[in-house]
Every structure is written in structure tokens, then in C-alpha cells.
Structure 1
Amino acid sequence: MELLQEYDFDFKYKRGVDNIVPDALSRRPDYREPDPVELYNLSVSLSPDVRDQLVQDYNDDPRLGPIYKDCLDGKVANGYSFQNNLLYFTRRGATTLAIPRHSPIRLTLLHDAHDSATAGHFGFQKTYDNLRRFVYWPHIAKDTQQYVATCEKCQRNKDSQDRPAGLLQPLPISSQRWEVVTMDFIGPLPPTARNFDAITVFVDKLTKQAHFVPSTTSATAVDVAHQFFDNIFKLHGTPTSIVSDRDTRFTSRFWQELHRLMDVKLALSTAYHPQTDGQTEVMNKTLKTMLRAFIDNKQSNWDQLLPSLEFAYNNAVNASTGYSPFFLNSGQQ
């Protein structure tokens, strides 16, 4: 300041947006406020017992223990934040609940992300994607892979993944959501208490979102038309094309007339080659696997499982799109 007093000069204001090359006086580093640590409200519901267990596990963990103590003392740990006495870890812009490496809560989380009816007993990638959205611990991918690989129900119920003899001939992918809908039936199945013995499966060709509707093997074309209106039309509007096999319920005069009035093209698969509708064939295989994992001993409750399994499928990341059907339909998870 003494040096500046030797000069005669005028002060002129210059807006910050025009001050492209800032100087030490206008951009003093000690005037800068520290970058805020953003905390996100995660949809992870924890009981008081689980919270207490986590706090104890934090203190016992050789890696997270010192970090947890620093956060209690008000110190900022690199990559970690503190909220409601719990540690959160931020990586690549995503903030998740930090779990100690050897905490018994890990097994509970793995079970909920893989074994529960809303998880669907999917493979490693879908289970891992479902888990890492909410929690983090070191080697979470390795632990998830080992857990899924040793799942008894998966080994007992899932079909062989051997390469099929021949190639599927998929139909072109649509450019709009629910523009092309694939349909198929699964049945006959063991009758339920509500006298259902079949499932009508609807799948969107673009987003892969699916709807599972309990039905009967005696359902007529009129019954299937009502299922279509109640579960597809009222939610997603009228498609431009419906892909199905050559079941009489799809090739009947009623269906053909219905599609003519609705200006919907009925794209029938080649006779004796249901693989043309490869998407629904894969969906049927997936649904059967999920049902075998959760059905009761009498095999009479599968219709009650359909809402949970439908949620599990639509909530899981699809291998062909890289996103969950829910995300592609709504833009959020």
C-alpha cells in the first residue's frame, strides 16, 4: 500500500464478468469461500438398530474408524461426508452410504439386492448396479459377484446359459417408447387360488419395460383385448405395431378388425419360428426363472408375485440398453 501511495491514480469499477485476467487484489484466494459439500437424501431406510450397528462398525473398522472420528471432530475427510451420524462416500458425482468392509450389514444388503422379491434373483451386473446406487464399501463388486455366484436358488432354478444353436432374427428397434409392443403367453401354469393358469406378457420394444398380467389358458381374443386396454393402452397409448406369435387369439378376425380400426399393424412372426419375437422369448425365460425362485411349495401363489417381479425387472439395468426400463420411460430411477 505504501508503494501505491506514491502514485496519482483514479479508481474505476470493472465488472467481474469483464475482468477476464484477474489480479491478486480482486481475486485474493483467502477471500474465496470453501466449496460446499453436497449431501443427498438417499432412499435407504434404516432402523435404529441398524444405525447403532453401523456406528459401532465404523469405530471398529481400521479404515473407516479414523475417518469417522475426524468427521465427528468436524474435520473434512477426502471423498467422505457426515450426516445423521453416518458416513457417506462420494465418487463420480454419486453419494452413497459407506458400509464398513466387515460389517454384518453387508450380507443383509446383498440379500435385499439379490434375493428379495423386488430384486428378482438377477445376475451379478444387475445386482451390483442395484446395490451401488445406495451403498459403498471396499471391494463391493467382488463381494457381489461372489454372493451371486454362490446363490443356491440361482444354481437350482436358472436355465443353462449355453450358446443356442442358431441366431435370433430380431425385428427393428423402434424410435419411440411404446411404439412397438411385443406380446406372448406363458402357460399352462399350476392353477392359483384365483384360478389363473397363464400369464400374458407385454414388452416395449425400445425401453424393454414389461407388464405381467395373470390370465388363463382359456382366455379368448376378447379377454386379451381387455388385458391390452387395461394394462397398456391406458398407460402408454396406442402403439403403431404389435409383435406376437401366430396364436389364434392374435390371428382371429376380432384382432385383425380391432387393429384395422385402431390403425395398428399386426406384425406376425414367421410360422414355426417364434424366435422372430426374440425379445419376448427372452422375457418369458427370465420371468420363469424369477418365479421358480420365489414360488411356494404348492406353486399356487405365483399370481401374487407378479407385481413384485414386474417391479424387480423394470428396476434392474437391462444389458442391451445399459439403463433400467424405469429410467428410459420416466427419466429417473
Structure 2
Amino acid sequence: MKVMITPNFLDQLKDAQVEALKEENICSERIFGQVKSLEENDYGVKTRFSRMWVPRGGDIRKKILDEAHKTRYSIHPGATKMYQDLKKNYWWPGMKFNVMQYVNRCLTCAQVKAEHQKPYDRLQPLEIPKWKWEHITMDFITKLPRTTQGYDTIWVVVDRLTKSAHFLPIRESYSSERLAEIFVNEIVARHGVPISIVSDRDTRFTFRFWKKFHDAMGSKLLISTAYHPQTDGQSERTIQTLEDMLRACAVDNEGNWNKHLPLAEFSYNNSYHSSIDMAPFEMLYGRKCRTPICWGEVGQKELRNLEVVRATTERLEQIKSRMKAAQDRQKSYADKRRRPIEFQVGDMVLLKVSPWKGLIRFRKRGKLRPRYIGPFKILARVGEVAYRLELPDELSKIHPTFHVSYLRKCLTDETSHIPYDEIEIDNKLN
């Protein structure tokens, strides 16, 4: 017995397409000459180059954007990743701009995402790996709110070639023996023993960990794997992405952060990565993994054995060239100064919380607290680099004038859902 699941969404989409193609509505769709290129797929949905056309009318576009951005398996991706994931299945005029606008107006993203400012020192890229999971980076996100299982740390392990990652919940108090056991069970069992590991941990941790790792493997060849006590920024950026995702979960959902960790790992690995121009899962497995948003995908691509080998080899070379290009871009950007930020009176801005360690902090959430609060209205410009804000009564003890570096423009129409009673102010520093 074969059961075919056809989502109700497709019926809604077909109805919307029929309505949009009516003479009185077609002009507002802005597709004009592109109507002739529309074809029906197996579900009766009109597509353009195998991508389902989503009309402007109704709320279909919003449903798709919400599904790709705010669900537990998507967890607030950036505009580029979100567009790259959506464009494989959907099309409408101005789609890329709409996705960017949608992400820019997401209050949760504005409050939790970090700013990526370029450093002033020169970038020294590491050598590009030749195969998957032979060269990895790893680091730890510590001081997280303790879960009911006692976890307070996430161990982040990233493959430097495919950018695929594993997020492992642990306790900061775990011994080297316990970490070595987890490494064997979670990493070595899936990918084998790596050739090199990049980390910024100190040499004492290096020696203890690798001694226990080889004990766990039953090997007498101590320190046979190269270990570099440095960082190439890969694990740091992945950690930052993971923290942003978990912050979004902490804002959107209640409960322990470790409940969201498996889907956070899936979302990271199944989303577009700019340095390899595809999702890590595509590089690792040859295709992205299926998600609820892939309603229009039918079947699986079939390749013969020789074609698989050839395709894998070609993709590896393609990835290496893309990584080299990405490294070259990063190196050229490294010494450039950022442009000055200016706001206008009346603009709505968000106020950075994180840097004010002794002045403003959250009573709860710890490291997963939002990076920004607000939005607040700009009342006046003070000098060249400061602005006076209209603050609520709950923040009346804070001086309302802030340097431009603590502000971020807010484009969202949403209202803040971070209660101000969670904010603690140190009166001695006013």
C-alpha cells in the first residue's frame, strides 16, 4: 500500500495562482511576458524553471517566509542563507529583495544577531584541506544557563572543508577522559580520526586530551595527530552563529537550550554557506536533507557508481576553489575600515546590551540573553558620534545619550517582547 502525502499548502498555492492569473489581477503580479514560461508540475502547480511560482496576492508568500525563518527547524537564518534555501523551490519577482527585507525587519534577529565588523590586523588563512573531516576545528561555548540535565557548555566541532559541524552538549566540569570518550563516540565513530585539529585551547588541555583520546582508542602512538593551538576563525564564527540561533530560541520559545540543539545542528548543516556556495550537507552527502519546506521535491536523483565518484571529485575541486576565493576576499577585506554610521532624528534604533557588563545586564538567560533591546526613538544628535534616545520609565536611571557604536538601526514594525523587568541596572555607575 502506497500513501501519498499532498500538503494543503499546494492546494492553497494553486488557488492563489488561478486568482492571480485573472485579467483584473495579472498586472499587479508583475510577471507580464514571463507568463508564457510557466509550466505545470505533477501537482498541477505552475512553475518557472522547476521553481513554484508564488503569487503576490493573499498570504502565501508570508507563510513561506515564516516557515523558512521562524520555525524550530529553521531558527532565524540570515538573508543570504534563507534566499539560497528558498530559491531552489520557489520563485516570484523581487524574491531576493523580499527575503532581505523580511530578515531585516525581524525583531528577534535584530536583538540577537552579532555585528560582523572586520578586524584591522592581517588575515592568515590556513591551508585548504584535501578531504572531508580530516582537518577540523573545535571550541567550547561555556557559561550557558544550566539545563535540568546539568549541561552548561556546548562543544563545537567543525570540518574545515565541508563546514559541517556537530554541537555536543557537555558540562564544563567534564574531565579529559570524559571528553575523549565523547569525541570517540560522536566524531571518530562518524568520520574517523582527524589529521589535524585547530583550537585556541592551551597546551595543557592539548596534552591531557590527546593522551586520554589515544587511551580511549587503545593506541600507543601518543600525539600522532597534529594539534594546532590557534584558531582560523571558523569555529569562532560557527560558535557565534550557534549562539545567535540559541538566543533566537530562548526569545521565541521557553525551556532548556539543549532541547533546541539537535535542530540547531540540522539547521546549520542544511543551510547555505557562502564560502562553499552550498549547504554543508550538500558537500558532505551530495544533496541537502529534506525539510518540511521542500514540498515540491519528488523522488531522489539517481547516479551510477562512476558518476558518483566523478561528481564527488569535481565537487571537491569546486569547493577548494571557492574556499580559496573566499579566503582571498576575507584577506582583502581585513584591512578596510568600516564606514561611519549615521542616524536621523526620529529613527528607531536598538540599544546594545552585551558591552555594558556592569551597567546593564539581564537577571536571567545568562549567555543566551539578547544582544540588543528596544527599539527606541532618537530624539537628538549629540556631537558627531552620539545620540540621545527616548527611553521608557523602566530605564530612566540610565543616561539617555549613547555612542553610535552601541546603536543598531531597527527596521522592524514589531514591538519588543523582552520585558524590561528582566534588566538589572547598577546604580553606582550612573
- TM-score relative to the length of structure 1: 0.74
Match of residue 78 from structure 1: 37
What is the correspondence of 1:163-242 to structure 2 with a 5 Å cutoff? 163-242=118-197
Q: Deviations over 1:257-300 (max 9, x none)?
A: 6454473112222xxxxxx3311111111111111001268975
Does 1:286 find its partner at 2:241?
yes
Q: Does the 8 Å CA contact 1:170/1:279 hold for their aligned counterparts?
A: no
Match of residue 228 from structure 2: 267
C-alpha separation in 2, matches of 1:235 and 1:286: 23
Distance change (3 Å), C-alpha of 1:82 and 1:210: closer
Does 1:59 find its partner at 2:18?
yes
Q: CA RMSD in A?
A: 2.6
User: Aligned pair count?
Assistant: 270
Q: Does the 8 Å CA contact 1:64/1:100 hold for their aligned counterparts?
A: no
Distance change (3 Å), C-alpha of 1:308 and 1:167: farther
Q: CA deviation at 1:120?
A: 2.9
Distance change (3 Å), C-alpha of 1:199 and 1:99: same
Q: Does the 8 Å CA contact 1:224/1:249 hold for their aligned counterparts?
A: no
Q: Does the 8 Å CA contact 2:37/2:48 hold for their aligned counterparts?
A: no
Distance change (3 Å), C-alpha of 1:301 and 1:248: farther
Match of residue 205 from structure 2: 250
Tell me, what secondary structure is at the counterpart of 2:262? helix
Ranges in structure 1 where 5+ consecutive residues have no aligned partner: 1-44, 68-75, 270-275
Match of residue 63 from structure 2: 108
Deviates more, 1:309-318 or 1:297-306: 297-306
What is the correspondence of 1:83-102 to structure 2 with a 5 Å cutoff? 83-90=42-49, 95-102=50-57
- Identical positions, percent: 37
C-alpha separation in 1, matches of 2:210 and 2:187: 16
Does 1:317 find its partner at 2:277?
no
Q: CA deviation at 1:247?
A: 4.0
Task: Tell me the amino acid that sits aligned with residue 140 of structure 2.
Answer: F
Specify which structure has the bigger relative contact order, considering alpha-carbon pairs within 8 angstroms and separated by 6 or more residues.
Answer: 2
Q: CA deviation at 1:142?
A: 1.6
C-alpha separation in 1, matches of 2:79 and 2:165: 21
Tell me, what secondary structure is at the counterpart of 1:252? helix
Q: Does the 8 Å CA contact 1:114/1:127 hold for their aligned counterparts?
A: yes
Distance change (3 Å), C-alpha of 1:326 and 1:310: same
Deviates more, 1:114-123 or 1:237-246: 114-123
Of the two, which has the highest radius of gyration? Answer: 1
Match of residue 7 from structure 2: 47
C-alpha separation in 1, matches of 2:204 and 2:256: 26
* Equivalent residue for 1:150, pick from 86, 91, 105: 105
Distance change (3 Å), C-alpha of 1:298 and 1:318: closer
Distance change (3 Å), C-alpha of 1:84 and 1:130: same
Deviates more, 1:208-217 or 1:236-245: 236-245
C-alpha separation in 1, matches of 2:159 and 2:209: 23
Q: CA deviation at 1:205?
A: 0.8
Distance change (3 Å), C-alpha of 1:123 and 1:225: same
Q: Does the 8 Å CA contact 2:137/2:198 hold for their aligned counterparts?
A: yes
Distance change (3 Å), C-alpha of 1:113 and 1:159: same
C-alpha separation in 1, matches of 2:75 and 2:198: 26
C-alpha separation in 2, matches of 1:66 and 1:77: 16
Ranges in structure 2 where 5+ consecutive residues have no aligned partner: 27-34, 215-220, 289-430
Task: Tell me the amino acid that sits aligned with residue 84 of structure 1.
Answer: Y
Q: Does the 8 Å CA contact 2:79/2:103 hold for their aligned counterparts?
A: yes
Match of residue 356 from structure 2: none
Tell me, what secondary structure is at the counterpart of 2:260? helix
Q: Does the 8 Å CA contact 1:170/1:278 hold for their aligned counterparts?
A: no
Q: Does the 8 Å CA contact 1:256/1:266 hold for their aligned counterparts?
A: no
Q: Does the 8 Å CA contact 2:177/2:212 hold for their aligned counterparts?
A: no
